C-alpha cells in the first residue's frame, strides 16, 4: 500500500499514488464515498469531471507533466474527494 496521511485540525489529506485495489479498500472502510467514485480511482478517466454529493465532491483533473526524454507533455490524472 502507498497511503500517506496528514491531519491538521479538521482537515485530513490522504495521499495515494498509483492506487491499488487494497488502497481503495482502505478508503471504502474509512470513508462514505460512492462505490463508483472509488472504482474511478482505479481506472483512467479521459475527461475532467466533478460529482457532487451531500457530504463531499469527487473531482477528476488532468495536469500536464513534461517528459524530457520524449520532449512531450502527457496528462497526469489527479482525483480529489
In tens, the pLDDT along 17-54 reads 999 999 999 999 999 999 999 999 999 878 999 999 99
In angstroms, the CA 70 to CA 1 distance is 30
Domains along the chain?
3-80 (3.30.460.20)
Return d(Cα 66, Cα 73) in angstroms, integer: 4
φ, ψ dihedrals at 28, nearest 5°: -60, -40
Q: Which residues of 28-60 are buried (b: 16+ CB within 10 A; e: fewer)?
A: eeeeebeeebbebbeeeeeeeeeeeeeeeebeb
Q: Label residue 1 by pLDDT band (50, 70, 90).
A: low
Full-model pTM: 0.82
Amino acid at each position: 500500500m502507498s497511503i500517506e496521511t496528514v491531519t491538521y485540525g479538521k482537515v485530513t489529506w490522504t495521499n495515494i499514488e498509483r492506487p491499488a485495489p487494497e488502497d481503495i479498500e482502505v478508503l471504502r472502510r474509512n470513508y462514505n464515498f460512492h462505490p463508483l467514485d472509488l472504482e474511478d480511482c482505479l481506472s483512467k478517466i479521459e475527461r475532467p469531471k466533478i460529482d457532487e454529493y451531500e457530504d463531499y465532491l469527487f473531482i477528476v483533473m488532468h495536469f500536464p507533466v513534461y517528459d524530457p526524454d520524449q520532449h512531450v507533455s502527457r496528462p497526469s490524472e489527479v482525483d480529489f474527494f
